[in-house]
Structure 1
């Protein structure tokens, strides 16, 4: 670039719009999107380490997609090329690829290609990139306002990480505005600009999450306001209202927001929420959606979701539609709103889906002949006897008579199931009675050879047989898997979350967290060195940026371990734990440790716990048949066992779910939900179990407890023999009490 070209470039940058001049240049200047750019998040770590793979940024306008790409351009050591898909075609793609190949061959340098508005390219243009992304010639960064799963080739999507950017918060927009007013180089730091608080709030509020919108409005306000006598540019609420008058509503009639908004509208109608339905419909009307499209969807809804619960709904909606066509806008909004409110408040039934069940039966079943008495008898009743035996309903009382209408092979098949809502509640019993009468009439006439489509009989379940069939060696693993699934349902871990597993152990929760939060980060705290080293060895199989961070130490050392990583202020979206208080009894943990754990949780984060409660565990005496023994011995053993679990000096059993809740609440947690499940499984009791319980001379853990409870040596030996005879090498039912808790 010559001196004159450089001068022109500097002049262009100086005269460019404020929103372009104020684009952040570094990670520290970047504002917002903390869910993907906050400390510890995968994308931030990848940018800092200059280890980017192909990326697609997806989000509304003004959320920082292009800006983020520019930050990457200023950070990476790779050659950076920018293309706008609106202006560029295959020629520009080929030139970029040629440059990338040359750089790699001559200098061994990677090339990052940023394509703005990537969804604007057609399939052929996108395909032109694919082989070069595949072989690593270029690292692709695409930005799009459209859903990449619909608008970008599947092959490119499958080779890229997708990050969704959200509308900026009001705090983000305020920070951007303040940066602009204080920046002397690119903003208005050299001007004496004073913006009144209510004026700034108006700009931020009406911009509706769009950084470009608030900067454009601020630029207009500053550039069109004259200096006062004191040399100060005063931005009042009146000036701000003139600069940006109408709230920006994100709505593209062919894009994601269009489909998402109509989906929210329909789901609000289905959920019988007239307030939400009116809101979503108002948003569509405000954004310029064609009311005919809304009427069309409401007409479908009247049949699909209201249906026979209120047969008048279809007439009301089509009547409102006709009125709208005659009136037009803006008065046509009255029938539009009337139809919306009627549908939202109407009883609901989707029983008309019976048609699709019938359609499916037609597709799958062998073609069935029309029963002879239902055939048209106008032409061949004499020759073939078609129509013979048909009973004319109007000739009977109540204009109904029991007779066969379905094909023989489908007798007894039910497609339509009336709901108990609205009008259908009135006809439900009558429909059932007539079906029963038709089936009874068919059987009484001797048509017993028909293939009935439904099975109308059942029998009690054989619980013993079912338990035997379900008995597997892997049942313990299956139970743990179910516990893990239930915990993650409560946790609702999202892809960008920061997750901490505070009692990692074997990694049961850690590896599931890694799968569920690939764009976030997972930290696992292992108390035992052997557990931690095993987790690290397993983690090495993953790419470096996708590995969990393994911390080895006790819960009391968590702050120190994070500080050693330079992350002393790191907070998490989710903190997970399994059996945290089994080794560290809740009564023995210092409150400040749990308080420190609460401080590690983001304001909207969740602490999710699976905790086995040993105090409510399986009692051994309940597994034994005492019918041949004295009742006195059985009672003494039962009493002794209960004494074991009532021992206040034993940290394993001297606490329960109430202690857990109280301990967490005293540390600053708020319990959102908790439930104690009695989970029934099976366990194989081996010789080793009996040996541990009773020892060689009745001095095992269980035998010693029986002795402390007052049982004689003879009685303990008798119990030992009984347990050995009935339990050794047997699979028994085993009940475990498990607490599922979510705190905030």
Structure 2
């Protein structure tokens, strides 16, 4: 069911629609080296084959999973016997090529022997080496829309290249396939083909589809972009106090088989980074949730994590601890290793005491309110302020106390 022309190509109109950038390059036969970045089943391989057909170039395909440098050399040798630039090397899952394998491509792209089209589901910024990425134009492909999947299935049912009109799919069953596909054309066609093989009367019903599909496989790669996109969405929903969105992203992660401890660790981080001192109990709860998840595992831990997500999303928010540490870390990098003031240094040996270590140190517990005026920062940083408390939740009281202490301490320290 691969399209034979751009008129049959579904989706990606911003790339291959009339007067779209990639379409113009193809029609003018001015192909750059290309990386197609997009989810499974969005048309990366199909588009690469269509480009080769429309430009009259030889199409050489490799899978990075099963191929290596030797396969590249074989294709290069054949390409050198053709006019320069008339061979397209298509590498599926190019992110699986290691650095040495990607390096081996560079001279042949540089001298024009090959035109590369790489396909990847992973972010090429991280998975493709910079020298290769700089020689390529990245085009982003998106999941197919529901109407595209519907059109594809309807064509597959009637065309001789597909099921040739021998099977019938009612509207309910068609809707099931569209939902199941989730933007992946390959998944839709595979389900349709398996369902056709499983029915004897030519009718593909929802019952048949469910029996074949069993449970839909949710799009999730524990080492790829979806892994990080979903956990990022959960964290940002927590930060934004949208409890419904947070629960949705939690369910997306867990139902796709994500490691629950990975999720629990992120909840601990969110409790400290985004709630912090506005509600210190949030960190206690998140830490307890991590331990409970470790203790009972899935599926029982889903309620533990859901309870924690609800609490964190609805808790008052403060990122003061995060920003305070960031400010202190910036000072460390900006000013280097400033000396520790002598009076607060450790003095375990007579020599150190002789050198003035800890000399003049005032023990705060010997003073009213257990606070005493003395400098604790290096002299160069004496006027710097890292912690700026919010007025949210319990931190409002902390802010009042810290302001009083800060003014008391800094008066003498500044003098």
**Residues 388, 48 of structure 1: alpha-carbon distance in 2 compared, 3 angstrom cutoff:** closer
Evaluate the alpha carbon distance shift between residue 427 and residue 53 of structure 1 in structure 2; reply closer, same or farther with a 3 A threshold. same
Alignment of 1:83-482 (within 5 A): 83-104=62-83, 110-184=86-160, 186-191=161-166, 193-227=167-201, 233-353=202-322, 354-365=324-335, 367-376=337-346, 387=358, 389-442=360-413, 447=415
SS at match of 1:83: strand
Root mean square deviation, CA, Å: 2.3
Q: Which has the higher contact order (CA 8 A, sep 6+)?
A: 2
Deviations, residues 383-425 of structure 1 (Å, cap 9, x unaligned):
5665554443333333323333223333222121111222211
Q: Is the 2:353–2:359 contact (alpha carbons within 8 Å) kept by the matching residues of 1?
A: no
For residues 256 and 135 of structure 2, the distance between their equivalents in structure 1, rounded to whole angstroms, comes to: 35
Does structure 2 conserve the Cα–Cα contact (< 8 Å) formed by 1:373 and 1:390?
yes
Q: Give the drift of 1:160.
A: 1.3
Cα pair distance change 1:367/1:164, threshold 3 Å: closer
Give the drift of 1:144. 1.4
Q: Shift of the alpha carbon at 1:215?
A: 0.9
SS class of match (2:122): coil
Q: Deviations over 1:691-720 (max 9, x none)?
A: xxxxxxxxxxxxxxxxxxxxxxxxxxxxxx
1: CA distance, partners of 2:379 / 2:71:
68
Equivalent pair of 1:309/1:424 in contact (CA under 8 Å): yes
Q: Does 1:28 align with 2:7?
A: yes
Q: Work out which of the two has the higher radius of gyration on C-alpha atoms and give 1 or 2.
A: 1
For the Cα contact (< 8 Å) 1:55–1:140, is it kept in 2?
Answer: yes
Q: Match of 1:250, SS?
A: coil
Q: Give the structure 1 partner of residue 60 of structure 2.
A: 81
**Aligned partners of 2:140 and 2:331: how far apart in 1?**
42
- How far, CA to CA, are the matches of 2:38 and 2:379 in structure 1? 57
Q: Which consecutive unaligned segments of at least 5 residues does structure 1 have?
A: 1-21, 228-232, 448-744
Structure 1, residues 92-150: CA drift from partner, whole Å, max 9, x if none? 2111111111112xxx6721221222222222222111111111111111111222221
Count of aligned positions? 413
Q: Which runs of 4+ in 1 moved over 6 A?
A: none
Q: Helix, strand or coil for the counterpart of 2:394?
A: helix
Counterpart contact for 1:181–1:188, Cα < 8 Å: yes
Higher strand share: 1
Shift of 1:208: 0.8
Q: What is the aligned partner in structure 2 of residue 38 from structure 1?
A: 17
Paired residues of 1:203 and 1:244 also in contact (CA < 8 A): no
State TM-score, norm by structure 1: 0.53
- Report the Cα offset of residue 161 of structure 1: 1.3
Change (3 A) 1:35 1:397: same
In 1: Cα distance, 2:353 partner to 2:27 partner: 90
In 2, Cα distance between the equivalents of 1:168 and 1:271? 29
Change (3 A) 1:133 1:402: same
With the length of structure 2 as denominator, give the TM-score of the two structures.
Answer: 0.92
Looking at structure 2, the residues matched to 52 and 382 of structure 1 have their Cα atoms a distance apart, in angstroms, of 74
Residues 50 and 77 in structure 1, CA contact (< 8 A), matched pair in contact too: no
Does structure 2 conserve the Cα–Cα contact (< 8 Å) formed by 1:402 and 1:434?
no
Q: SS at 1:102's partner residue?
A: coil
For residue 205 of structure 1, report the CA deviation from its aligned partner: 0.8
